[in-house]
A and B are shown apart, each in its own frame.
Chain A
Amino acid sequence: MEVDPPLLATTSVTDINIESIGAQAMGQSCFLQTSPEFFMKRLLVSGAGDIYSLGKVFREAEQGSRHNPEFTLLEWYRLDWDEFQLISEVENLVIGAYQSIQNIEIPVSRINYGDCFEQTLGIDPHKAKLSILQSLVEEKGYPQWGSETRANCLDLLFTEFVEPKLSKGLVTVHDYPACQAALAQTYKDAKGRLVSRRFESFLNGLELANGYFELTDAEQQSQRFQHDVKQRQQANKPVMSIDAKLDQAMRQGLPSCSGVALGVDRLLMQLSQAQSINEVLAFPWDRC
């Protein structure tokens, strides 16, 4: 079922690296939504079943050849599916888009985060101590990251060194580090490492989709949000309050499900071989 969640709301995400764009409405401070996730989860709790949303989202200070502060996200949830069933659906969607628009077969593959990280950088991203990651980052020529958090060090290393080595076509990286779980469940993998059931799909090296086998434990989610808030305070970032309505809903019980968000502009970029997101937007930010 298609749903149409609000774009404007009184709360927004607490993610340390995602900034919401503020607005004034009904005499109070509000935010343009960075993702439909929280509203969709409230619908899932109320029994909506499998749902999708195709709509605009907004993120502050994100502009470049792959970013526009307003962009289109396709987000959907599948009840009782795990992340691998959902990965298959993402793959089918992209394969289908290439078949019908370009009439070509796109290669599709999957790889474990720990494996591709270790192949390229020679260290286990889940087990390596933070100090090892920090000195690796410095050694690689990024001295400003020398005292960064574990998640930020890993993201920098992954983006700069692992991402460029990913195969052509659609590559889905799964089992992200536990510190980057966001709203995914975590589990102990075969090697006894705590990893998250989060995946990201890259289309010819371009980050396309981010998905989770969703965390349903309201208490754990609340702790993660509180951790975000604390990190925001430490980093002197704008204070974001935790979405109490989502928390209430989660405490009633989110059904077991997997969810994913896919950047539609990015898919169009790849399908039309555009070098910049501006080529697939009639009115990119520069013209607004």
Chain B
Amino acid sequence: MGNYSTNEFRSGLKVMLDGDPCSILDNEFVKPGKGQAFNRVKLRNLKTGRVLEKTFKSGESVEGADVLDMDMQYLYEDGDFWYFMEPDTFEQHQATETAVGDAKLWLKEQDTCMVTLYNGSPLSVTPPIHVELEIVETDPGLRGDTAQGGSKPARLVTGATVKVPLFLDQGDVIKVDTRTAEYQGRAKD
């Protein structure tokens, strides 16, 4: 990977910082009229997800990070690894539990996820924004109680627990927003 100078910093650029790949979120050019210019940069550490701020002298350069976002199909997990496949080449990648992180709560076989590759290996996994998952456990449904605003916890086939309206039952398939873990509605059959 090449080096990038501060004047090439753009949000979304992936660079190496203290040995970790980071994504630039924000780059602010600062310069006192008669003083030296510098850049206040906000970055997300792609390994830890943490957001950090760092100041660079203007003109300083940093090494680019070999990071690539790619849509892949989720295949299965074997207890140790989660397996994803590139749709064009059918090449398979195994992701560790750390890389999959909270995404594992939403992974349904054959769904398309965004896998972030770092030096060719999965670094993180982003699930689809909306997933349709089956309820495997919840209190019995109260039919006809659709008007009342109450809710109850329901465990989904992937292991995630979300709040659902009272009328839903085990076996129902629901649509969930994975960013907020909120119930969106019943899946259309």
Contact = CB atoms under 8 A, between A and B. Distances in A.
A151 B57 CA distance: 15
A167 B56 CA distance: 27
Given A61-B7, A142-B55, A210 B29 contact: no
Contacts of A67: 29, 31
A156 B58 CA distance: 13
A183 to B, nearest CB: 10
Interface string A144-169: 11001001100110111000000000
Contact of A156 (B7, B28, B38): B38
Interface in B28-67: 28-38, 55-60
B36 A155 contact: yes
A160 B36 CA distance: 12
A210 B37 CA distance: 17
Contacts of B57: 144-145
Nearest to B54: A141
Contacts of B36: 17, 148, 152, 155-156
A182 B32 CA distance: 13
Contact of B28 (A65, A142, A152, A200): A65
A186 to B, nearest CB: 15
Nearest to B40: A160
B29 A64 contact: yes
A270 interface: no
Nearest to B56: A144
A158 B7 contact: no
B35 A17 contact: yes
A159 B29 contact: no
A61 B55 contact: no
A210 B30 contact: no
Interface of chain B, helix or strand or loop or mixed? loop
Contacts of B30: 64, 66, 159
Contacts of B56: 144
B33 A159 contact: no
A208 to B, nearest CB: 10
Contacts, number: 55
A62 B36 CA distance: 11
A188 to B, nearest CB: 22
Interface of chain A, helix or strand or loop or mixed? mixed
A64 B32 contact: no
B35 A155 contact: yes
B60 A180 contact: no
Contacts of A200: 33
Contact of A63 (B29, B38, B59): B29
A93 interface: no
A65 B28 CA distance: 7
A18 interface: yes
A15 interface: yes
Nearest to B38: A156
A207 interface: yes
B73 to A, nearest CB: 39
A160 B39 CA distance: 11
Contacts of A65: 28-29
A10 to B, nearest CB: 23
A17 B55 CA distance: 18
B60 A17 contact: no
Interface string A42-76: 00000000000000000001111111000000000
Given A61-B59, A63-B7, 20 more contacts: A17-B31, A17-B35, A18-B34, A64-B31, A67-B29, A67-B31, A142-B55, A144-B56, A144-B60, A151-B35, A152-B35, A155-B32, A155-B34, A155-B36, A156-B35, A156-B38, A158-B32, A159-B35, A180-B34, A210-B34
Interface of B: 7, 28-38, 55-60
16 contacts: A17-B31, A17-B35, A63-B29, A64-B28, A64-B29, A65-B29, A142-B55, A144-B56, A148-B36, A152-B36, A156-B36, A158-B32, A159-B32, A182-B34, A200-B33, A207-B32
